[in-house]
Chains A and B, each alone.
Chain A
Amino acid sequence: MFHLSPLRLGTLALLFAGALFSAFASGYAGLEILTEILILAILVIALDMVAGFGGMVSLCHGALMGAGAYAFAMAGMSLGLPVWAAMLFAVLFTGAVGWIIGAICAGSHGIYFIMVTLAFGQMGYALVFESPFFGGDDGLAGLARPDLSALGIDLNRSRAFALYCLAALVLVALAAAQILRSGLGRALVGIRDNERRMRALGLTVWRTKAHLFGLSGMIAGLAGVLAAQHVMYISPGLMAWTVSGEALVVVILGGLGTFVGPILGAAAFVVLRHEIGALTPYWHLVVGLILIAVVMSRANGLFGFVEGRLARLAARRTAKADAPHREPRDA
């Protein structure tokens, strides 16, 4: 069941403090990296909700993020909606798309679920890649950021935009925690552990899966909106299956179903990409080796490793404290 242990809450607080410090202490390059981390963290929270807590390993979350970005762009450019309304439209639209995909995929499991979600993702990619309406291969440029000048905030500045993304991440984390703690979230964990029994208890399993996939889609859509606003340009590459694959790598690297782990994984992944990428173009190999080591250790990611170690340490201490006291033998 979902719970925020003191370790998890403490890690979240540390991550938040680190992001806040970085937002005020970094220069332009650092702020760009921070923004990248924050947007990826939102995407992987969405993926962890369904993959980690629901056992639905999705390979279409990159496409959902892309759908959010394109919906935001089209709502502004074609429908003429103001930025905030276009953002809301994009999030709701992606939620609806996610719900439909979740409802259709609900009967599939394991490798079949992965393949069906991959197919949906690739369909979305093909649609935007081939259609001139969506800008085709060239993508769409000139996307706007919200105007907060009334509050004295200029979101065209990197620092303000990074803080805006941090605020979005905090809101998403709070919303995701609420969802996972709610009745719907509890049912999702039940489905992951024993779908047959949940059905026998009276749960309409496909509907629960669809609702969670829809909510996860909304969060992925918001990540897409922020990604579009970040670079003010979108292209079909945002919907490529490799984006979904990378998000999955990040979730596994951080710790599947740990809530905190994927956020940590997002930070580790982006930093590794930039730091090792600056040294060698083969940075993927290094990330690959780390991923293999993490998976082979069976520790459930970086955060799972730390959590497991601390739990074992605590158990050992308790056992030691409970052991009967023995008098030392006389020499």
Chain B
Amino acid sequence: MLDVRNLDKSFGAIHVTRDVSFRLDKGERRVILGPNGAGKTTLFNLLAGEIAPDAGRILLDGRDITAAPVAERARLGLARSYQKNTLFDGLTVAENLGLAAAVASGATRSILRDALAAPAVRETVSEVAARLHLTPHLGAQVSAVSYGVRRQLEVGLALATRPRVILLDEPTSGIGPEMAHGFHHMLSSLPRDLTLLIVEHDMDLAFDVADRITVLNYGEVVFDGAPDDARNSALLRDIYLGSWENA
């Protein structure tokens, strides 16, 4: 589904992504771990097309998208959420989801019809809102809702585009354990044909959700394997987490 081959990126003298390769199969849920500064968000920005790699290739369903613009990748079914909320603060929760669904469905190209009133768009808004427990907040302006709701909406925007692959950048950062637990449950309940690539610091989520775990350190893949193997890896324990045994 998503094939990342020998991706490389430097900012001046700083080498942030070093020869990164991995392959995501359809429906696979992969969690990327790594300490701060390991290059996780840079990798996401490379995959989403927000920055261009110095070398390497990215293939989506066999199609080379390395040079494709951000919007084209999104239209091909590659959605992303951001580590820092990137929402439409002046709009309501429903309008945020509606806008995402409308762009994905092509309704924003029409000069005659109201994109947000289209039945398909409204259906998507209801469905995504129900899945993310956003229904009670649909009429509220984004700037007026809690951080946790905004965090859920951040993921909701990606889901509303009905993607095939979602890149989730630290979706539970800054939210309480109860909400994070609900989030694990939501991710597990997503259709199995949806492919997920998640950057996460929350170990519970990593081991709950992941089919495979990739660990980055100094921009380099230092581990790629099953969660159980990751849990037992001495190398990873040394470079990343002293407390893994308790996770």
Contacts and interface: CB of A to CB of B under 8 A. Distances in A.
Nearest to A179: B111
Interface in B73-91: 74-75, 79-80, 86-91
B157 A201 contact: yes
Contact of A184 (B69, B90, B108): B108
B114 A202 contact: no
Contact of B114 (A183, A197, A204): A183
Nearest to B80: A200
A184 B88 CA distance: 16
B112 A187 contact: no
Interface string A152-191: 0000000000000000000000000011011110110110
Contact of A193 (B71, B90, B102, B110): B90
Given A182-B115, A186-B115, 17 more contacts: A179-B111, A182-B111, A183-B110, A183-B113, A183-B114, A184-B111, A186-B102, A186-B108, A190-B88, A194-B86, A200-B71, A200-B74, A200-B86, A201-B74, A201-B161, A202-B71, A215-B111
B100 A182 contact: no
DSSP majority for the B interface? helix
A201 B112 contact: no
Interface of A: 1, 178-179, 181-184, 186-187, 189-190, 193-194, 196-205, 208, 211, 215
B161 A196 contact: no
**B interface residue count range (under 10 / 10 to 19 / 20 to 34 / 35 or more):** 35 or more
A184 B91 contact: no
A298 to B, nearest CB: 16
B155 interface: no
B109 A199 contact: no
Nearest to B91: A1
Interface centre among A1, A200, A204, A205 (most CB of B within 10 A): A200
A266 to B, nearest CB: 25
A190 B48 CA distance: 19
Contact of A190 (B99, B114, B161): B99
User: Which 10 pairs across A and B sit closest by C-beta, in order of nearness?
Assistant: A183-B115, A202-B74, A187-B108, A183-B110, A183-B108, A201-B103, A193-B88, A202-B75, A183-B107, A199-B70
Contact of B109 (A184, A190, A215): A184
Contacts of B80: 200
A251 B95 CA distance: 26
Interface in B107-141: 107-116
B91 A202 contact: no
Nearest to A211: B111
A197 B156 CA distance: 13
Contact of A201 (B72, B99, B109, B114): B99
A304 B67 CA distance: 45
B104 interface: yes
Interface of B: 48, 50, 69-72, 74-75, 79-80, 86-91, 95, 98-100, 102-104, 107-116, 157, 161
Contact of A183 (B69, B86, B111): B111
Nearest to A197: B86
Contacts of B111: 178-179, 182-184, 211, 215
A258 B15 CA distance: 48
30 contacts: A178-B111, A182-B110, A182-B111, A183-B110, A183-B115, A186-B116, A187-B99, A187-B103, A187-B115, A190-B91, A190-B99, A193-B89, A193-B90, A194-B86, A198-B99, A198-B103, A199-B70, A200-B48, A200-B80, A200-B86, A201-B79, A201-B100, A201-B104, A201-B157, A202-B71, A202-B72, A202-B75, A204-B71, A208-B108, A211-B111
A200 to B, nearest CB: 6
A202 B161 contact: yes
A203 B71 contact: yes
Nearest to B100: A201
B125 to A, nearest CB: 13
A201 B90 CA distance: 17
A179 B111 CA distance: 6
A211 B111 CA distance: 10
B113 A203 contact: no
A39 B36 CA distance: 59
Contacts of A190: 88, 91, 99, 103, 108
B103 A202 contact: yes
Contact of B70 (A178, A186, A200): A200
Nearest to B116: A186
A203 B108 contact: yes
A49 to B, nearest CB: 12
B73 to A, nearest CB: 8
Contacts of A211: 111
Contacts of B87: 194, 197
Nearest to A203: B103
Contacts of B86: 194, 196-197, 200
A179 B114 CA distance: 9
Given A190-B99, A193-B91, A183 B109 contact: yes
A197 B108 contact: no
A185 to B, nearest CB: 8
Contacts of A201: 71, 74, 79, 99-100, 103-104, 157, 161
A265 B87 CA distance: 32
Nearest to A194: B88
